Each structure stands twice: as structure tokens, then as C-alpha cells.
A and B are shown apart, each in its own frame.
Chain A
Amino acid sequence: NAGVTQTPKFQVLKTGQSMTLQCAQDMNHNSMYWYRQDPGMGLRLIYYSASEGTTDKGEVPNGYNVSRLNKREFSLRLESAAPSQTSVYFCASSPWTEDRDGNTEAFFGQGTRLTVV
């Protein structure tokens, strides 16, 4: 069972370059999320998608765009990378309510360490 798969695991970009972080889940979850994690700041929500076809801004959306391609996939795009976007990025998914096993929690990908120089 793959769970949540994030690619790539590591990436170095030059300032001004663009890139897309990919995320896919195989748990039939409705909700998907993108977070960034910086030292001392916890996980801050960038964007989330409550269902296929909808996306909403989180706490720190500036400089990012997202696409909920289908129920499985939720991508995060940096159009013009800046050093301030150096961070570890996590994708996650969760059911709306309790799933058939009574679970409500979010499952996370392994993270992408992005460095912008």
C-alpha cells in the first residue's frame, strides 16, 4: 500500500526557476494538503483541496499555485522560486470523516527538501 507519494525527494533550484512538486494518494481520500516546514515554525498550510475540483488558500499561499488534477493527484507549483521558499514541503491526504476503519487522520508523504540558491 503506497499511501501518499511525493516527488522529488530533493531539489535545488536557482532563483527565478520554476518547478512542480507532485503528490499522489491511493487511499481514495477527498482532502489533500500542501505544507511547508521551517525550523521553529511547525507545519504551515500553503493550500488545500477539500475535494476534486476545489482548492483553497492556507496560511502561506503567496508564491505558490496548486492543481487538483483528479481525486488522486494534487500538485504544487513554484512559478519563480525565491530563497525564502527554501523549505521542506509535505503533501498529505485525509478522509472527510471517519473512513470504513474509523480513521480520520491525515497521511503524509515523505517530504521534499527544496533549496533555492
Chain B
Amino acid sequence: AQTVTQSQPEMSVQEAETVTLSCTYDTSESDYYLFWYKQPPSRQMILVIRQEAYKQQNATENRFSVNFQKAAKSFSLKISDSQLGDAAMYFCAYRSAVAPSNSGYALNFGKGTSLLVTP
């Protein structure tokens, strides 16, 4: 099964500053999807951004952008102009795009990074 590693259990950023959350993954597949999810204290899982592996251009959604390095199997999330509302757990996730694969369509998550935003 594909593994997803988030090496930063906790990160802290000041309001209006920029922070980068790291994610690496292990796969032998060439076609897949990558996601960043946010989980605030409400427990709701909210999609932040997604990246298709076949797309070379890094995805961007407003203040959120990714640095997708396919060869290095790295998928980091950059949050610019951080806001208090960005404080949450952030999860990186991987999903196969090829049907069927040995692992089917399992959606695998990293252990998460807790982001603290200070005023």
C-alpha cells in the first residue's frame, strides 16, 4: 500500500506570514491524485487543494499553493498571508488513479500536521 509521510507533527506561524507544510509519499504508480485536507476543531474534513499527478503545473487556490515534485515524491503545501482561521490539523492524502490497481482506490492519509497561528 502507498504510504504518506508528514514529518512535522506541529508547526507555528504568525498571522500574515507564510508557512510550508511537508508531505512525502511512496508509490510505484505513475498516475495518481494528491490532496491536502484541513480539519478544524469542528472535526469536519475540508478539501484545501488537489493535484493530479499527470499535471506538471502546481495547483493554486487563493492563498494556498503546492510544490509538487513528482520525481522526489514530494507534495508540500504553502499557506501565504496566514490567518487565524487557518489554524487546524492538515492532512496530506494519496489516491490511485488507475483502475483497477492492486490497491484499488484506497485513499491513504498521513498522520497530520497541527498548525498554530499566532496573532
Which A residues contact B (CB, under 8 angstroms)?
A: 30-31, 33, 35, 40-45, 48, 50, 54, 56, 58-59, 88, 90, 92, 94, 96-98, 103-106, 108, 110-111
Chain B, Cβ-Cβ closest to A45: B106
Pairwise interchain contact B43-A105, C-beta atoms closer than 8 A: no
Within 8 A of A (CB), among B16-71: 33, 35, 43-45, 47, 50, 52
Question: What residues of chain B lie closer than 8 Å to A94, measured between beta carbons?
Answer: 95, 105, 107
- Chain A residue numbers with a CB within 8 Å of B47 are 105
| Interfacial chain B residues near A44, Cβ < 8 Å | 109
Return B102 CB to nearest CB of chain A, in Å. Answer: 10
Residue numbers in B under 8 Å from A43 (CB-CB): 91, 109
> A40-B9, A42-B111, A104-B33 known; A96 and B99 CB under 8 Å?
yes
Which residue in chain A gives the minimum CB-CB distance to B48? A105
Shortest Cβ distance from residue A97 to the other chain B in the assembled complex, whole angstroms: 7
Give the complex CA separation of A56 and B107 in angstroms: 12
Count of chain B residues with a beta carbon within 8 Å of a chain A beta carbon? 26
Q: Are B105 and A50 in contact (CB under 8 A)?
A: yes
Bound together, the chains give a CA A103 to CA B47 distance in angstroms of: 11
A108-B106 in contact (CB<8A): no
Q: Mark B64-96, 1 if CB is under 8 A from A, else 0.
A: 000000000000000000000000000101010
Minimum C-beta distance from A53 to chain B (A): 13
Question: How far is it, in angstroms, between the C-alpha of A41 and the C-alpha of B91 when the chains are bound?
Answer: 11
Q: In the complex, A104 Cα to B107 Cα: how many Å?
A: 11
Closest to B113 in A: A42
A42 to B25 CA separation, bound complex (whole angstroms)? 15
Q: How far is the CA of A45 from the CA of B94 in the complex (A)?
A: 12
Report the minimum CB–CB distance from B87 to chain A (whole Å): 17
Supposing A58-B106, A59-B1 touch, asked if A50 and B45 sit within 8 A by C-beta, the answer is no
Docked Cα-Cα span, A33 to B35, in Å, equals 16
A89 to B66, CA, bound (A): 28
Nearest Cβ in chain A — how far from B99, in angstroms? 6
B107 with A92: CB separation less than 8 A:
yes
Of the listed residues A31, A43, A94, the one surrounded by the most CB atoms of chain B closer than 10 A to its CB is: A43
